[in-house]
Amino acid sequence: MPIKLVKGRVETPLNILVSGVNGVGKSTFASQMPKPLFIDLEKGTHHLDVNRVYAESDTQVLEILQELIDSKHPYKSVVLDSLDFYEALIHRSVVAEFSRKKEGIEDISDIEYGRGYSHALKKMRHTLNVFDKVIESGMNVCIICHTHTVTRQDPLLEPYQKIELKLHTKAASLVKEWTSFLLFANYEVRTVSRGEGFNKRTVAIGDDSRVLFTRGSTGFDAKSRRPIVNDNGKHQIALDFGAFIKSYNNAFKAEETKQ
């Protein structure tokens, strides 16, 4: 069979992971995507006017995704809310599987030699492969994940705190590598100077404005396969899907112009 050459850029449905603290507006952002269906694991989208389905296990989530792949439906986007809750379902199924073989296993950490976490990682990798098939079927994918703060040790720096995905370390690395847009949602923070002379200091002040960071720092993880920037060229936009898609389309037009 001859090799089929595909030339130039190929537009595919979006593959987004939105992380951030509780209540910042991650689910609201996802609800603004084209015709979304929420897989609401936490039953926390009641304040949103969206279509949703519930699932009680990781197996049910996979069944829902497979039905979206195989059947005709009106949805253009699927939202998993949330990934850290889904990982907990995976861990629960792994514990149930191993406890049938050995007594005394009540938590995934009870499984010897880290085999429980390895098994859970395989399940997470399989889930991401299914999401790839969802994307191939023509649907956008948005995965929501909560965050937590950890202390990092770096031989070149003083110990520092970083906001990371609320997942097991290897699962977090897998997901960050898989997604095309790792977006970090947070409240707007600005700095002001207070005091005078030796008492002068810089203070961070937050407000109700919510922003989406598209490039990471030592404080949090973020990335984008296409430059998502605001009108001033900063890798920071309003926490609004309209703002995201505007920047996304502008970046695509700029790439086309360079050709």
CATH code of the domain containing 63: 3.40.50
238 lies in a domain?
no
Question: 15-24, 94-103, 201-210, 212-221: lowest mean pLDDT where?
Answer: 201-210
pLDDT value of position 107: 95
The CB-based long-range contact list for 57-64 (8 Å cut-off, 24+ gap) reads 57/89, 57/92, 57/93, 58/86, 58/89, 58/90, 58/93, 58/123, 58/127, 59/93, 61/86, 61/89, 61/127, 62/126, 62/127, 62/130, 64/39
Q: Which domain holds residue 72?
A: 15-183+213-223
pTM listed for this prediction: 0.88
Which range has the worst mean pLDDT, 59-73, 98-112, 121-135?
98-112
At 199, give phi and psi (nearest 5°). -90, 0
Instruction: Please indicate, yes or no, if residue 116 is contained in any of the structural domains.
Output: yes
The residue-averaged pLDDT of 5-33 equals 87
In the chain, the amino acid numbered 146 is H
Q: What is the pLDDT of residues 136-157, one digit of tens each?
A: 999 999 999 999 999 887 777 7
Residue 202 scores a pLDDT above 70? no
Residue 192 scores a pLDDT above 50: no
Determine, yes or no, domain membership for 33.
yes
SS3 38: strand
**Residue whose pair of structure tokens reads 């537009």 in the numeric block:** 11
Mean pLDDT of 39-53: 95
Mean pLDDT in residue range 20-28: 93
Residue 244 lies in a domain: no
Distance of CA 233 to the CA centre of its chain: 23
Domain assignment present for 245:
no
Q: Is residue 198 part of a domain?
A: no
Q: Name which of 59-63, 99-103, 114-118 the model is least confident about.
A: 99-103
Residue 201: the pLDDT is 56
Classify residue 110: in a domain, yes or no: yes
| pLDDT bracket for residue 256 (50, 70, 90) | low
* pLDDT the model gives residue 1: 58
pLDDT greater than 80 at residue 31: yes
pLDDT in tens, 155-168: 777 788 899 999 99
Residue 182: the pLDDT is: 98
Mean pLDDT computed over every residue of the chain: 90
159 class by beta-carbon count within 10 Å (0-12 exposed, 13-18 middle, 19+ buried): exposed
Backbone angles phi, psi at 106, to 5 degrees: -115, -15
Q: Which residue has the higher pLDDT, 196 or 34?
A: 34
Report pLDDT for 203. Answer: 42
C-beta of residue 117 within 8 angstroms of C-beta of residue 167 = no
- Say if 256 falls within a structural domain: no
Give how many domains the chain has, as a whole number. Answer: 1
Residues 6+ apart with CB under 8 A from 97: 119
The pLDDT of residue 22: 87
In the predicted model, what is the mean pLDDT of residues 158-186?
Answer: 95
Mean pLDDT of 66-74: 97
- β-strands 77-81, 140-152 pairing: parallel
